[in-house]
Amino acid sequence: MTAIPFAISSRHKGFNRAEVVDQNFIEFVQLWKGDVRTAPRDDDAVLPGSALDARGFRELLESQLISRHLDLMARVLRVQNKVFYTIGSSGHEGNAMVARLTRHTDPAFLHYRSGGFMAERFRKLPGMDPVMDSALSFAASKDDPASGGRHKVWGSKPLWVLPQTSTIASHLPKALGTAVAIEQAQRIGHQLPIPDDSIAICSFGDASSNHATAQTAFNTAAWTAYQKLPAPVLFVCEDNGIGISVKTPSGWVANNYQHRANLDYFFANGLDLAEGYAQVQRAVEHCRSTRRPTFLHLKTTRVMGHAGTDFEIEWRSIGELFAVECSDPLLRSAAIALASGLYSKDDLLNLYEATRKRCFAAAEDADSRHRLTSLEDVMAPLAPYTPAAVNAEATRADYAAQRLKVFGGEAKLPEKLPPRHLAIQIGQALHDLLAKYPEALLFGEDVAQKGGVYTVTKGLNKTFKGSRVFNTLLDETMILGLAQGYANMGMLPLPEIQYLAYFHNACDQIRGEAASLQFFSNGQYRNPMVMRVASLGYQKGFGGHFHNDNSITALRDIPGLVVGCPSRGDDAAMMLRTLMALAKVDGRVCAFLEPIALYMTKDLYEAGDGQWQFDYPAPDQAMTLGESRIYNEKANDLVVFTFGNGVPMALRAARTIEAELQWKVRVVDLRWLAPLNDAFIAAQAKTAKRILVLDEGRKSAGVGEGVITAIVEGGFGATPLHRVVGADTFTPLAGAALLVLPGEADVVAAAHALAG
Whether 707 is covered by a domain: the verdict is yes
Residue-level pLDDT at 42: 80
Are both 718 and 638 inside the same structural domain? yes
Residues 710-728 as b/e (b if ≥16 CB within 10 A, e otherwise) read bbeebebeebebbbbbbee
- Among candidate residues 598, 619, 644, the one where a domain is terminated: 598
Q: Which of the four pLDDT bands, split at 50, 70 and 90, describes residue 580? A: very high
Last residue of a domain, one of 548, 580, 598: 598
Three-state SS at 265 = strand
Question: pLDDT tens digits, residue range 80-130?
Answer: 989 888 888 989 999 999 999 999 999 999 988 999 999 999 999 999 999
* 35 confidence band (pLDDT: 50, 70, 90): confident
pLDDT of residue 164: 84
Band of the pLDDT at 318, cuts 50, 70, 90?
confident
Q: Is the pLDDT of residue 44 over 80?
A: yes
Question: Last residue of a domain, which of 324, 341, 368?
Answer: 368
Residue 579 in domain? yes
Q: Give percent of the chain above pLDDT 90.
A: 83
Specify whether the CB–CB gap between 175 and 217 falls below 8 A: yes
Are 441 and 302 contained in the same domain?
no
* Cα–Cα distance list, 699 to 95, 411, 550, 705, 723 (Å): 51, 48, 11, 8, 9
Which range has the worst mean pLDDT, 197-211, 469-483, 546-560, 613-627? 546-560
Domain match, 348 and 391 both: no
| Full domain range(s) for residue 701 | 629-755
**Per-residue model confidence as pLDDT tens digits over 714-744:** 999 999 999 999 998 888 888 888 888 999 9
Q: Tell me the average pLDDT across 143-151.
A: 93
CATH number at 657 reads 3.40.50.920
| Position 368 pLDDT exceeds 70 | yes
Instruction: Identify whether 409 is part of a domain.
Output: yes
575 and 637 part of one domain: no
Please, what sign has the CA dihedral across residues 336, 341, 342, 343? positive
Across 567-585, average pLDDT: 98
First vs last Cα of the chain: how many Å apart?
A: 92
Q: Is the predicted pLDDT of residue 38 greater than 80, yes or no?
A: no
HSE-CB for 10 with a 13 A CA cutoff: 8
Confidence (pTM) = 0.94
pLDDT, mean of residues 551-564: 94
Q: Are 304 and 71 in contact (CB under 8 A)?
A: yes
Q: What average pLDDT does range 330-344 have in this prediction?
A: 95
Q: Does position 304 have pLDDT exceeding 90, yes or no?
A: no
Least confident of 18-22, 41-45, 297-301: 41-45
Please state the domain count of the chain.
Answer: 3
Structural domain includes residue 615: no
Q: Which of 75-84, 256-265, 607-616 has the lowest mean pLDDT?
A: 75-84
Q: Is residue 607 part of a domain?
A: no
95 within domain boundaries: yes
Burial class (CB in 10 A: 0-12, 13-18, 19+), 390: buried
- Are 350 and 447 part of one and the same domain? no
Mean pLDDT, the chain, as a whole number?
Answer: 93
Query: 580, 433 in Cβ contact below 8 A?
Result: yes
Residues that are catalytic: 547
Kindly state whether residues 400 and 420 are assigned to the same domain: yes
Percent with pLDDT over 70 in the chain: 97
Predicted pLDDT at 10: 43
Q: Place 294 in a pLDDT band, splitting at 50, 70 and 90.
A: very high
Provide the pLDDT for residue 7.
40
Same domain, 413 and 359: no
Within 10 angstroms of residue 195's Cβ, the number of other Cβ atoms is 11
CATH of the domain at 501: 3.40.50.970
- Both 679 and 542 in one domain: the answer is no
Residue 464 and residue 348 in one domain: no
Are 444 and 339 within one domain? no
**In the predicted structure, residue 2 carries a pLDDT above the cut 50:** no
pLDDT tens-digit readout, 513-533? 999 999 999 999 999 999 999
166 pLDDT tier (thresholds 50, 70, 90): low
3-state secondary structure of 128: coil
- Residue 228: exposure state from Cβ atoms within 10 A (0-12, 13-18, ≥19): exposed
Same domain? For 40 and 113 the reply is yes
CA distance 48 to 278: 13
Structural contact between residues 95 and 300, judged by C-beta atoms closer than 8 angstroms: yes
pLDDT of residue 9: 43
Assigned domain for 4 exists: no
**pLDDT (mean) for 57-61:** 97
Instruction: State mean pLDDT over 564-588.
Output: 98
Q: What is the reported pLDDT for 15?
A: 59
Domain shared by 364 and 384, yes or no: no
Q: Is residue 616 situated within a structural domain?
A: no
- Mean pLDDT for 139-157 is 93
What pLDDT sits at residue 551?
84
Q: What is the pLDDT of residues 678-717, one digit of tens each?
A: 999 999 999 999 999 999 999 998 999 999 999 999 999 9
Cα radius of gyration (the chain) = 30
Q: How confident is the model at residue 542 (pLDDT cuts 50, 70, 90)?
A: low
Q: Determine how many CB atoms are found less than 10 A away from the CB of residue 620.
A: 11
Number of H helices, E strands in the chain: 28, 19
- What average pLDDT does this structure show over 150-178? 92
